[in-house]
A and B are shown apart, each in its own frame.
Chain A
């Protein structure tokens, strides 16, 4: 029978494709955190004294005898971020403001395409402090989050943050570090010192009970011009 070898060839092809598929799965799930590079700029050593901490009090009027409302507080961030992109690695996420959860950790948006901006801190495009964007690395469905692309980020990659009522803020990646999730530096949330954009997601190792044990922290500094 001349057609006998054909099923064998089909089986071979299938085997090759299976191997390729397996390789693909492995490539998509590296299982280890990427290397660190660069150094984060930090705030100059603070010399807190009674003069500067706490800062000068604001004197806000509240209700008079008639209960009239007080002077509204100044708008904290007129230009909230709406999207973040890192074109070279294909990161493209919408950004929504987030706060903290009951356990004190930062809220993380649940949509794979969404990132969160820590709204109590500095905003992207500000002149001081560290503006923090957070995003899930993956989901229970097995789907990867947009911030998983940060595993491929390189020094010099351009980051753009679109803002509501202001021109986009542009940054250049300068550092990446894997840090213990339980010892995430407070400094990442500083509200003074040189302005940086800080992108945070999760990193292996993974623990069945506690999930990821590390955070991947990417630092970008304002781009020249």
Chain B
């Protein structure tokens, strides 16, 4: 029983165990009774079986893998992670945590190392609110046994001083960026550089995972799509000709045309007169 109390204390410390903490759910999402839950395994060197209560959720889960989002009925789940092949009836789980998911939530549960290298579970709410047209949402979650880091894109810091198990997020121009992770406040690159393709209207969650001490730090990217929004408008007139042409430029153009026609008419008249004169 002691491990349950321990996991409760851990959850309270982390403060991230309850999902649906005011993260904007997409319009209408609450109509369903399910939450969408993904699971990321970020503990190096340990293949595991993941249980929700007594039910096996993911067998033979390899480090560095991320499941597709699974619909789970809203509710409270006792998530237990066992070393692969352990007997859930008699063995103690390697990690255990109670996670609550509300209808319409989109969440990722990460099994990962703490800054000190201890395995733990953190539940993150994924922001699936709309992204402005032309942009992409970039979120970085520090789930590695490593100190505070900075995250850079194209050499410029995007997130600074990020610590385990926190996350930071920003909306950036869609496109491909070269990203790397450095020790906070330094140019010491610990991960990357790696190209990140940030498609327009998507949410991209990057997990910095592994262990600095064991030199296996790595990135894992989770992309959620369907958060695009329409541009704010189409301003497709630079002049006012089509509106009636009362701008100086349009009048000048019009006047010049009329003047040319008048000049032409006069020239025509002059030619006729000249012809008449020669006939005399």
Binding site for B on A (CB under 8 A): 2-3, 6-7, 9-11, 13-14, 17-18, 20-22, 24-25, 28-31, 46-65, 67-70, 72-73, 76, 99-100, 103-106, 108, 110, 118, 120, 134-145, 147-148, 151, 181-182, 184, 186, 188-189, 191, 200-206, 211-212, 215
Contact = CB atoms under 8 A, between A and B. Distances in A.
Interface of B: 26-29, 31-32, 34-36, 38, 66, 68-69, 71, 103-106, 128, 132-134, 174, 180, 191-197, 199-201, 203, 206, 210, 215-245, 247, 249-250, 252-254, 257-258, 261-262, 264-266, 268-270, 272-273, 276-277, 280
Contact of B26 (A11, A48, A57, A120): A48
A30 B195 CA distance: 52
B239 A54 contact: no
B235 A108 contact: yes
Contact of A54 (B106, B210, B237, B269): B106
Given A13-B269, A120-B134, A134-B236, 11 more contacts: A7-B269, A55-B226, A62-B206, A65-B217, A70-B197, A139-B239, A142-B253, A148-B242, A202-B235, A204-B243, A206-B244
B29 A59 contact: no
Nearest to B249: A142
A122 B278 CA distance: 71
A137 B244 CA distance: 12
A3 B216 CA distance: 103
B218 A65 contact: yes
Q: Which of A31, A57, A110 has the most CB of B within 10 A?
A: A57
A25 B254 contact: yes
A29 B245 contact: yes
B265 A49 contact: no
B245 A136 contact: no
A25 B258 CA distance: 9
A151 B231 CA distance: 24
A136 B244 CA distance: 15
Contacts of A104: 132-134, 231-233
A143 B106 CA distance: 51
B245 A188 contact: no
B55 to A, nearest CB: 20
B226 A69 contact: no
Q: Which of B216, B224, B230 has the most CB of A within 10 A?
A: B230
B237 A57 contact: no
B243 A60 contact: no
A120 B222 contact: no
A173 B258 CA distance: 36
Contacts of B225: 54-55, 57-58
Given A10-B265, A60-B223, A189-B231, A48 B241 contact: no
The 5 residue pairs across chains A and B that have the minimum distance between CB atoms: A10-B269, A63-B194, A31-B244, A206-B243, A202-B237
17 contacts: A2-B276, A3-B277, A14-B269, A25-B245, A48-B27, A54-B203, A54-B224, A57-B38, A57-B225, A60-B221, A100-B133, A106-B231, A139-B238, A141-B239, A142-B250, A189-B133, A203-B242
A63 B218 contact: yes
Q: Which of A18, A182, A202 has the most CB of B within 10 A?
A: A202
Contact of B243 (A10, A103, A212): A212
